[in-house]
Amino acid sequence: MAELTKIILSEKDAPTHWYNLNADLPRLGVELPPPLHPGTKQPIGPETLAPLFPMALIEQEVSTERYIEIPEPVQEVYRLWRPTPLFRAHRWERALDTPAKIYYKYEGVSPSGSHKPNTSVPQAYYNAQEGTKRITTETGAGQWGSALSFACQLFGLDCEVYMVKVSYEQKPYRRVLMQTWGARVIPSPSPHTEAGRRILAQDPESTGSLGIAISEAVEMAVQRDDTKYALGSVLNHVLLHQTIIGQEIIKQLELIGADWPDVVVGCTGGGSNFAGLVYPFLAAHLDGRPQTRILAVEPSAAPSLTRGSYAYDFGDTAGMTPLMKMHTLGHDFVPAPIHSGGLRYHGMSPQVSALKEAGLIEAVSVTQNPIFEANQSFAKAEGILPAPEAGHAVWGAMSEALTCRESGEAKTIVFNLCGHGHFDLSAYDAYLAGALQEYEYPAERVQASLARLPQV
């Protein structure tokens, strides 16, 4: 009998709870420093976050319950695309001539084409439950903005998206997708906010950054009582919602009697898809399963985990958010205009950063062209065109598989293919034409930005 290629769970086997890493941090030997008020430098309470988030999400942010139930209305929407398939990459394994077994979880089957609706749907639901009428947000490549636009129209909410200007120009079809779902999309930095006007006064040609776009979205959210802000990565409650990914993978591997993974690989920008993949494996290890090596892959142009400082910093450029202890390149650092727009963030999730500090995860960085080379290799064998962001995980898995080819080890590798690249064809066009620029870590600019970190 031929080995299975696609492993599918039925809807009744879908996770009913999110896994909360906060509950297990003490057992993992990890300390998570609290967020601080930007003015007093003291730990913040729920009242500080209340202008931005509904109370249900604030409670999830600080919860230490190990599992948090997924509301039935959220599960109902999830069933439009979940559980997502897990594939064994037989054809890619043969193309790479590796003895490794490679599995990939494909989140590109969601309505917006990525993992982001896993959190946009519950965020929209909880906001609607508490009477919110309008949500503001930022987006880089447009994956998060698309997902929130989709979720907001499901629950009758207006959606306003500040899209990093370079991505707004590079990826017009993501903008069109958001607008089709009823969102208002604004290139950032914009003249509509004080934060945007300040950046444009300094640099009228600014290509923008996620930090700038966050500042604009937060500024607009706090001005109206009927408006809240939603974030697509970084914060605990966002990463919590993504843990259905890893939970499903574990069930799927068990269903076919597969070997326990030797290594799991995820791309990292703010940390959400990476956390969704790896957190359930950390929980499984605490529950008696073998230790799994965990590898994070990030862009060399925004290498927060590999070259950033572990320090308190703002989540946005204007300094409007609470201070978080995280790996950071400095809140006013503007990364180069790489095509992996969703990874162009100056900081990393505090939870993921704490795991890195504790030595529980590894991190590497890579430039653009190797990512697209790996994506082309994968697409030729498997038929799916990965998003540039997801390509970092593809490259990481390929690197591990090629190492196995040299060593002769038949390791089991699992990675998260967190989104498709159908709206990223301009990037592929540049790559195929040999015109894709490489951007390395600009050390002097980062050092200048780190010199302006808030003093705590």
For 6-14+70-113+239-450, CATH gives 3.40.50.1100
Give the integer Cα–Cα distance in Å for 150 and 421. Answer: 18
Give the integer Cα–Cα distance in Å for 273 and 257. Answer: 25
Give the integer Cα–Cα distance in Å for 335 and 324. Answer: 20
Assign 407 to helix, strand or coil.
Answer: helix
Q: Are strands 293-299 and 362-366 parallel, antiparallel or unpaired?
A: parallel
One digit per residue, pLDDT tens: the chain, 456 residues?
Answer: 357 899 999 999 999 999 999 999 999 999 999 999 988 999 998 888 999 999 999 999 999 999 999 999 999 999 999 999 999 999 999 999 999 999 999 999 999 999 999 999 999 999 999 999 999 999 987 899 999 999 999 999 999 999 999 889 888 899 999 999 999 999 999 999 999 999 999 999 998 888 899 899 999 999 999 999 999 999 999 999 999 999 999 999 999 999 999 999 999 999 999 999 999 999 999 999 999 999 999 999 889 999 999 999 998 877 778 999 999 999 888 776 666 555 668 899 999 999 999 999 999 999 999 999 999 999 999 999 999 999 999 999 999 999 999 999 999 999 999 999 999 898 899 999 999 888 877 788 888 888 889 888
Give the integer Cα–Cα distance in Å for 215 and 319. Answer: 8
State the burial class of residue 450 (Cβ atoms within 10 Å of its Cβ: 0-12, 13-18, 19+): middle
Residue 1 pLDDT:
38
State the burial class of residue 342 (Cβ atoms within 10 Å of its Cβ: 0-12, 13-18, 19+): buried
Smallest CA-to-CA distance from 343 within 307, 306, 303, 310 is with 303
CA atoms within 13 A on the CB side of 393: 32
Give the integer Cα–Cα distance in Å for 97 and 273. Answer: 28
Residue 338 pLDDT:
61
- DSSP assignment of 386-428, as one string? B-HHHHHHHHHHHHHHHHHHHHT---EEEEEE-BB-TT-HHHH
pTM higher than the cut 0.75 = yes
Residue 17 pLDDT:
98
Give the integer Cα–Cα distance in Å for 416 and 384. Answer: 13
Q: Domain residue spans in the chain?
A: 6-14+70-113+239-450
Assign 68 to helix, strand or coil.
Answer: strand
- Contact, 350 vs 326, CB < 8 A? yes
